[in-house]
Amino acid sequence: MDIIARLVAAVGPANLLRGEEAVAPWARDWTGRYVGAPLAVVRPGSTAEVSQVMAAAHAAGVAVVPASGRTGLTGATHAPDRIVLSLDRMNRIRAVKAGPRLLIAEAGVILDRLHEAAEAHDLIFPLTFGAKGSAMIGGALSTNAGGSNVLRYGSAREQCLGIEVVLADGRVLDLMSELHKDNSGYALRHLFIGAEGTLGVITAAVLKLLPRPRAYATAMVAVPSITAGLDLLARLREATGGAVEAFEYMPRSYIEAHLAHIPGAREPFDAPHDHTIMVEVGAVAPRDAEPGPDGTIPVVEQVEEVLADLMDRGQVLDAVVARSEAQRREMWARRESAAEITFTQPFFVDTDIAVPLDRLEEFLATIRHRLAGIDPEAKDFVVSHLGDGNIHYTAYPTRGNSDHLAAIRALVDDTAVSLGGSFSAEHGIGQSKLSAMRTHKDPVAVEVMRSLKAALDPKGLLNPGKTVPGP
């Protein structure tokens, strides 16, 4: 029996897609950068079926590329002429437990649905980013995705208590702990989270839910410099007891690109400013969230007091605090259109670097200088989870040949790493950052990763050619 027949036996003929038309949705990613039709797409509907699929692939020595929402930015699910294992049919929320505040979901549940399911119990599942309407939790965990509130809630890893994994040979690994403390052996959960499907296929997860903030203070703030922005962050954190959820930096070029490319986009302030920050503080405790006799909300007052004080000192140039949910949504929409704007130019090098907070200004100054050195007319596009030191720096070169693009990518990575930073803060490695892994990651770390890959996937069948550079 050939592999296709075995896969059909595992999932039924309706769930094994072949032929140009059937596999078309998997033949290119949404950015248009990763193009190439898979040989077939297999869509198991249960953990048992995933196990059968992997056992069949293992027996046949056939490689498999796990995929879910396919909103990643590094080509981690790129699968030309490969078999895609799509988790999209595994889209059940198995349970929401409001008492112990957790949610059990299969890998194919879209983030937005998790948000809704939590909110129905007056709780939140905090993990969120622009692609929340199509990203699925399996992929978010496999990428260890970040987003706009890592500052307060951590990355995907921190929001997960347990996972279920199908190994390369089809064995099912049950790590579905609902406990907040469990020290029973190696931290296997953490090994599979962020491994981009190269060590196993995450099929389900136990996710933490958290109290829903009762009120938000959301504001657009213009500051004279990034350093002033970081001072603002420190002041807000102190004033609110660490309740800053988002601290998103957008320079003038971002605002202009947003105005140019997004219908209905508006200026955040009456006058243009070089440095704009969107800040959001979430108040959980009643004393911060409940309106006073005059209708003012304490958390909003806290933020306004800090802003007023810094404005007196010239450290804040302008500020607009959202007065309605509509205004808040407009602020978020401005930030969340970043990915869409990034890909509007014919040539681009998008990156996801992190540097220590006190090197952010130096990073931007240095990379601009260095970029001008090899492409004087190049433009750039910057948006940053500033509080995490994470900058999405996109270069728009004047020409698109691959050597030039690779040279620019290397320039950005080099610059970040030379400042004590990382070439991948939250998007992962996939295939676009393999060369950076080879150049910049501690070589012993890469050797250890290869040893782990060989131990758990000795035939090299799980998402080959991703995450870990070859020798």
Does position 143 interact with a copy of itself (CB under 8 A)? The reply is yes
Taking residues 209 to 238 in sequence order and writing x for each that binds a copy of itself by CB under 8 A, - otherwise, the string is --x-------------------------xx
Q: In this chain, which stretch among 3-11, 28-36, 131-139, 439-447 interacts with a copy of itself, using CB under 8 A?
A: 439-447
Q: Is 257 helix (H, G, I), strand (E, B) or coil?
A: helix
Please report, as residue ranges, which positions from 372 to 431 form the binding site for a copy of itself (by CB under 8 A).
385, 388-390, 420-429
Please report, as residue ranges, which positions from 304 to 343 form the binding site for a copy of itself (by CB under 8 A).
none
Residue 307 is inside which H or E element, if any? helix 298-312
Q: Which is nearer to a copy of itself, 169 or 318 (CB)?
A: 169
Distance (Å, whole) CA 397 – CA 404? 8
Measured from the CB of residue 332, what is the shortest distance to a copy of itself in angstroms? Answer: 20
Find how far residue 51's CA is from the centre of its chain: 27
201: DSSP letter = E
Q: Which is nearer to a copy of itself, 37 or 151 (CB)?
A: 151
Residue 379 is inside which H or E element, if any? strand 379-385
Does position 157 interact with a copy of itself (CB under 8 A)? The reply is yes
Q: In this chain, which stretch among 15-23, 30-38, 347-355, 371-379 interacts with a copy of itself, using CB under 8 A?
A: 347-355
Distance (Å, whole) CA 131 – CA 336? 8
Q: Which two tokens stand for residue 327?
A: 């205004």
Measured from the CB of residue 101, what is the shortest distance to a copy of itself in angstroms? Answer: 10
Q: Is 193 helix (H, G, I), strand (E, B) or coil?
A: coil
Measured from the CB of residue 339, what is the shortest distance to a copy of itself in angstroms? Answer: 17
**Torsion sign over Cα 178, 182, 188, 190:** positive
Measured from the CB of residue 70, what is the shortest distance to a copy of itself in angstroms? Answer: 18
* Closest among 436, 445, 446 to 416, alpha carbons compared: 436
Among 4, 23, 173, 333, binds a copy of itself (CB under 8 A): 173
**Cα–Cα distances in Å, from 99 out to 7, 118, 121, 397?**
40, 12, 10, 53
Q: In this chain, which stretch among 21-29, 253-261, 313-321, 445-453 interacts with a copy of itself, using CB under 8 A?
A: 445-453
Please report, as residue ranges, which positions from 36 to 95 form the binding site for a copy of itself (by CB under 8 A).
none
Q: In this chain, which stretch among 27-35, 88-96, 134-142, 240-248 interacts with a copy of itself, using CB under 8 A?
A: 240-248
The strand pair at 210-211 and 16-17 is best described as: unpaired
Please report, as residue ranges, which positions from 174 to 213 form the binding site for a copy of itself (by CB under 8 A).
174-175, 177-188, 190-191, 193-195, 199, 211
* Closest among 442, 415, 441, 414 to 428, alpha carbons compared: 441
Q: Which is nearer to a copy of itself, 45 or 170 (CB)?
A: 170
Q: Quick one: 89 exposed, middle or buried, by C-beta within 10 A (0-12, 13-18, 19+)?
A: middle
